[in-house]
Amino acid sequence: MNNGHTKDKSAASAESANVDYAAVPDARGHFGPYGGRFVAETLISALDELQAVYNKLKNDPGFQRDFDDDLAHYVGRPSPVYHAQRWSQQLGGAQIYLKREDLNHTGAHKVNNTIGQALLAKYMGKPRVIAETGAGQHGV
């Protein structure tokens, strides 16, 4: 039931299917119809600063070089790719390859984001980082 505050599921699915993901985030920082920043007002200034620095550095060759170096040394990048021969045969010839994120030093992909956040903090001169991992292990 649509109570005026939410969209029904079919409308939301249709709307999200039409998102041009190459054009996101939009000028307000939103990703699709539901994206955005939902944080305490006390954090807005820090997030605006972070966004400005990220926008400046994301295409900077020196930053990218440092990021790639950190990923190689702290994560084990590039991750190996494994050809799953038997699975490929069972599927009738489609060649299946598995990207082995489980072989990262931490055993998961989450460290990739953590390394990026720590490097941004370093470039910003910040001595501490509180980062969200996507697994609920976060804080402000």
User: Count of domains in the chain?
Assistant: 1
User: Is 138 in contact with 130 (CB distance < 8 Å)?
Assistant: yes
| In-domain check, residue 24 | yes
Assigned domain for 64 exists: no
Distance CA 34, CA 9 (A): 13
User: Containing domain of residue 25, as a range?
Assistant: 10-39
pLDDT in tens, 73-122: 988 888 889 999 999 999 998 999 999 888 888 777 778 888 888 999 99
> 128 or 27, which is more confident?
128
Of the two residues 140 and 16, the one the predictor is more confident about is 16
Report CA-CA distances (Å) from 131 to 84, 118, 137: 35, 8, 8
Query: Does a structural domain hold residue 14?
Result: yes
pLDDT at position 14 is 52
Residue 114 contacts by C-beta under 8 Å, 6 or more apart in sequence? 131, 133
CA distance readout (Å), 1 to 4, 15, 34, 50, 84: 9, 18, 19, 39, 46
Prediction pTM value: 0.62
Note whether residue 50 is domain-resident.
no
140 found inside a domain: no
Dihedral of alpha carbons 95, 101, 104, 107, sign? negative
Asked, for residue 35, whether it belongs to a domain, the answer is yes
Answer whether residue 51 shows pLDDT above 80: yes
* SS3 label, residue 6: coil
pLDDT at 1: 46
Number of neighbours of residue 133 by Cβ within 10 angstroms = 15
Asked whether residue 56 carries a pLDDT value surpassing 90, the answer given is yes
The predicted pLDDT at position 17 comes to 63
